[in-house]
Structure 1
């Protein structure tokens, strides 16, 4: 799983950077924020489903 996530991260970076080099850092930061938000929402949903 770790290797798959590493590969996915490399794919995302290599896709974003050439398409919008000037804003690539901002786009990557936004992606990471969305990733954490999605993980948090999923965790909350699972916790509510247990109750």
Structure 2
């Protein structure tokens, strides 16, 4: 994923953008919408099979 992100980032001319920035942007978007997923790790956790 990192390699593809780097390719897309460079192609778009967004050298200042980092993958971690997208995580913060997503969390900010949730908060702006009045939503929360609890501790930040819950936003990224994948469902566990029973």
TM-score tier after normalising by the smaller chain length:
0.3 to 0.5
- Under a length normalisation based on structure 2, what TM-score does the superposition of the two structures give? 0.39
TM-score by length of 1: 0.39
